[in-house]
């Protein structure tokens, strides 16, 4: 725990000191605002709950994008700049490195995501939605972001080039998402099987309606666990190369 805390502190310090963290954060917030304005708000009268649902739909996509962008520098950049050597010659476990890096990026992503809460709050100006709906939606958005970030962390462990890492994680997340339309055009039981891995379309839809489903939470938890485990194993295997 002590080592994980050390890495989180150093990483967060680095986010605050370098422009890239602010830049990605600002870009995410800008996208939230633009998409809210473009899709959720319309001239015609609509239900407040629908406005919130549409915001959450696009918000999920933006958070996934944030997860991919924040993950790219986690492990790939350390190898790119050679600072991984400091970590790998210290008495600290690979799982602690992965967890420390992941949790630091997750806290930054969560901070940025939660900063967008002023947008659904605007609905209260002319309408009425339940706070529970917003809370469930944001929980879903955070879980979706956390799962994307974990997949990105795994991709970041596979390469030493941060640019390739971002492409690789976008590819992984995109492929999982692509399984949904593939499932729709295939026969059962493939429809269910393929559709099950779509992180946004399948598992985020309940959260958008303000509903909390345990199976979705378990799904995201499993994706996070498996991705981080895989990233740890990749780091451990580096000694054998």
Partner 1 sequence: MIVVEGVSKYYGRNPAVRDLSFQIEEGECVGFLGLNGAGKSTTLRMLSCLLLPTSGAIRVGGFDAEREPHEIRKLIGYLPDTPPVYPEMRVDEFLRFAGRLRRMTSKQVDARMPTVLEKTGLADVFDAPIETLSHGYRQRVGIAQAMIHEPKLLILDEPVQGLDPVQIVEMRELIRSLRGEHTILLSSHLLSEIERTCDRILILKEGRILASGTEDEVVTQMRAQPAGYREAVNKQWTLVEVRGGEAEVRAALAVGDLTIMELTRAAGGICRLKVQSGADPRELVAKQIVEAGLGLLTLTRSQSALEDVFVQLSHTGDGDAAAPGGAEA
Residues in the site for partner 1, rule: CB under 8 A? 3, 6, 10, 13-14, 17-18, 81-93, 239-241
Residue 90: CB minimum distance to partner 1, A: 4
Which residue, 5 or 132, is less far from partner 1 as judged by CB?
5
**Rounded to an integer, what distance in angstroms lies between the CA atom of residue 92 and that of residue 227?**
20
95 CB-side CA count, 13 A? 4
d(C-alpha 164, C-alpha 96), whole Å? 24
Cα–Cα distance measured from residue 231 to residue 192, given in angstroms and rounded to the nearest whole number:
28
Q: Taking the complex as a whole, how short is the minimal distance between the CB of residue 85 and partner 1, in angstroms?
A: 5
Nearer to partner 1 among residue 94 and residue 216 (C-beta): 94
Query: Shortest gap between Cβ of 135 and partner 1 (angstroms)?
Result: 36
Helix (H, G, I), strand (E, B) or coil at 68: helix
| Burial category of 148 from C-beta neighbours within 10 Å (exposed 0-12, middle 13-18, buried 19 and up) | buried
Closer of 46 and 90 to partner 1 (Cβ): 90
| Other CB atoms within 10 Å distance of the CB of residue 241 | 4
Distance between CA atoms of residues 83 and 75, nearest Å: 10
210 conformational bin, left if phi > 0, alpha if psi -120 to 50, beta if neither: left
Q: Which of residues 20 and 186 has its CB atom nearest to partner 1 in the complex?
A: 20
Nearest CB to partner 1, comparing residues 92 and 229: 92
What's the min distance (Å) between Cβ of 225 and partner 1? Answer: 23
Considering the complex, state which of residue 86 and residue 131 has its C-beta at the smaller distance from partner 1. 86
Quick count: other Cβ atoms within 10 Å of Cβ 52? 24
**CB of residue 21 vs partner 1: minimum separation in angstroms?**
11
Q: What is d(CA 156, CA 163) in angstroms, rounded to the nearest whole number?
A: 9
Q: How far is the CB of 162 from partner 1 (least distance, A)?
A: 15
């Amino acid at each position: 725990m002590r080592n994980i805390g050390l890495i989180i502190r150093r990483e967060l310090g680095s986010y605050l000191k370098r422009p890239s963290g602010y830049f990605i954060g600002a870009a995410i917030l800008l996208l939230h605002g633009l998409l809210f304005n473009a899709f959720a708000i319309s001239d015609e009268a609509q239900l407040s709950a629908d406005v919130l649902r549409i915001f959450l739909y696009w918000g999920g996509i933006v958070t996934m994008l944030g997860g991919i962008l924040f993950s790219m520098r986690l492990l790939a950049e350390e190898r790119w700049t050679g600072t991984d050597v400091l970590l790998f010659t210290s008495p600290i476990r690979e799982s602690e490195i992965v967890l420390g890096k992941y949790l630091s990026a997750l806290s930054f992503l969560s901070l940025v995501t939660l900063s967008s809460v002023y947008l659904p709050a605007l609905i209260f100006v002319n309408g009425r939605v339940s706070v529970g709906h917003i809370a469930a939606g944001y929980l879903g958005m955070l879980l979706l972001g956390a799962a994307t970030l974990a997949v990105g962390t795994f991709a970041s462990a596979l390469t030493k080039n941060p640019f390739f890492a971002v492409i690789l994680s976008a590819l992984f997340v995109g492929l999982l998402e692509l399984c949904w339309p593939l499932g729709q055009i295939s026969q059962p039981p493939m429809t269910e099987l393929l559709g099950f891995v779509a992180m946004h379309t399948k598992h985020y839809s309940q959260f958008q309606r303000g509903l909390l489903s345990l199976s979705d939470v378990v799904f995201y938890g499993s994706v996070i666990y498996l991705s981080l485990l895989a990233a740890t194993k990749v780091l451990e295997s580096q000694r054998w190369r």
